[in-house]
Amino acid sequence: MIMHKQDSFNPDYVVHPGEVLEEILEARGMQKGEFAKRCGLSAKTVSQIINKKHPVTPGTSLQLERTLGLSADIWNGLDSKYRLHLARQLEVNEKSSVIEWASKFPLSQLKKRNIVTETRDKWEAALQLFHFFSVSSVITWDEVYGSIPVSYRKTSAYESSTHSVLAWLRIAEIEAEDIETDSYDRRLFKRSLEKIRKLTTTEPEVFEPRMKDLCRKSGVAVVFVSELPKTRLCGATRWLANNKALLVLSLRYKSDDQFWFSFFHEAGHILLHDKTRVFIDEVEKNKNILEEEANKYAQDMLVPEEAYSDFIEADNFYKSSIIKFAESINIAPGIVVGMLQHEGHIPYKWHNGLKQKFILKE
């Protein structure tokens, strides 16, 4: 019986077994169609192996061994090494893109907040970001956060970082996870907001726990998170579940007029708008119908439109008049000052002493 000699082939570089098969066939002067018949493979499969589009399975390795005399272990080894090489290349490429993705976040600030530990290893920092966002890869991060339908007030005069904004939002989400709310009740939330409005004349140590508790019982988790670099945020809202909403404020401005307007603006989004949307409200406001609706809700909630119109018509914006008007509608005078300044009825330097200043302690 005539036997083919078992060849020894151990390349010191990675090649696809299809390249080796093509070289052997050329050296033996065997046509691919003839080889396919002898080997028991279809001509299409042989062509795909040669063109690196089809793996060499253990069964195929045995067919190649019997037809060409080259050990099945060698064919398996070639295919295995090639696929391992591809996997390593994929990891290298992915690692590079992951590190690039991580570099877009404000890592130094996230380290200060103990979200990312002190490390010079960029890959390790990226892995910590995956844990922070509760995702397994950049692809899944894009699916969860990159596709968020954000209604985002952007200012053309300032470069905002979407990655910083979403990191800020994620911090708020994590804080809200620890707040056990009752199921969202729209009517109860509206009644709670009326009670919270009356708290504007009180100090933070009085209103903060009370407003948070009223919202919690209405199905809304309220958290305060200071800004990250390149965000310029006032507040945001999103639904964490069908029966639980998140309302987050940054306290970018420390005055009570800005604080309360932002709070009721975000509350307006929860009451008035689609649960599938995320509203991230920056300093500069767009002429967006949804934002205008939230603005109108906040304005009317804080200062009733009819009473405010009468006050404006009287055209008396002295300090004593503002205080008297604020007392008549049971609202903090600083809120009235802020509205008058914003609408151009008085200069921004007038009556700022009537505003309260708040400090965010995280």
Q: Are residues 107 and 188 in the same domain?
A: no
In a domain, 1, yes or no: no
Instruction: Count CB neighbours of 4 within 10 A.
Output: 11
Q: Are residues 177 and 300 in the same domain?
A: yes
pTM for the full model?
Answer: 0.71
Q: Are residues 296 and 220 in the same domain?
A: yes
> How large is the angle between the packed helices 333-342 and 256-272, nearest 10 degrees?
80
Below-50 pLDDT ranges, the chain: 1-12, 151-158
Question: What are the two backbone dihedrals, phi and then psi, of residue 252, each rounded to the nearest 5 degrees?
Answer: -55, -45
Q: Are residues 209 and 273 in the same domain?
A: yes
Tell me, what CATH number does 72's domain have? Answer: 1.10.260.40
Q: Are residues 157 and 185 in the same domain?
A: yes
Split into its structural domains, the chain has a count of 3
In a domain, 28, yes or no: yes
In a domain, 2, yes or no: no
In degrees, to the nearest 5, what angle opens at C-alpha 185 toward C-alphas 176 and 220? 15
In a domain, 289, yes or no: yes
Structure tokens at 126: 């990226």
Looking at residue 286, its pLDDT comes to 55
User: Domain of 288?
Assistant: 150-354
Looking at residue 360, its pLDDT comes to 64
Which residue, 98, 133, 166, sits at the end of a domain? 98
Q: Are residues 201 and 87 in the same domain?
A: no
In a domain, 5, yes or no: no
Q: Are residues 35 and 75 in the same domain?
A: yes
Looking at residue 245, its pLDDT comes to 95
Q: Are residues 243 and 324 in the same domain?
A: yes
Residues 152/165, Cβ–Cβ less than 8 Å: yes
Q: How many angstroms separate the CA atoms of 344 and 342, rounded?
A: 6
Looking at residue 306, its pLDDT comes to 86
State the amino acid at position 66 in one-letter form: R
In a domain, 362, yes or no: no
Which residue, 58, 81, 98, sits at the end of a domain? 98
Which residue, 32, 63, 98, sits at the end of a domain? 98
3-state secondary structure the chain: CCCCCCECCCCCCCCCHHHHHHHHHHHHCCCHHHHHHHHCCCHHHHHHHHCCCCCCCHHHHHHHHHHHCECHHHHHHHHHHHHHHHHHHHHHHHHHHHHHHHCCCCHHHHHHCCCCCCCCCHHHHHHHHHHHHCCCCHHHHHHHHHCCCEEECCCCCCCCCHHHHHHHHHHHHHHHHCCCCCCCCHHHHHHHHHHHHHHHHCCHHHHHHHHHHHHHHHCEEEEECCCCCCCCEEEEEEEEECCEEEEEECCCCCEHHHHHHHHHHHHHHHHHCCCCCEEEEECCCCCCHHHHHHHHHHHHHHCCHHHHHHHHHHCCCCHHHHHHHHHHCCCCHHHHHHHHHHCCCCCCCCCHHHCCECCCCC
Q: Are residues 112 and 243 in the same domain?
A: no
Looking at residue 139, its pLDDT comes to 85
Looking at residue 289, its pLDDT comes to 87
Q: Are residues 255 and 197 in the same domain?
A: yes
Q: Are residues 123 and 171 in the same domain?
A: no
pLDDT in tens, 253-312: 778 888 888 999 999 999 998 888 888 876 555 567 888 899 899 988 888 888 888 888
In a domain, 9, yes or no: no
pLDDT in tens, 71-88: 889 888 888 888 887 777
Q: Are residues 117 and 35 in the same domain?
A: no
In a domain, 360, yes or no: no
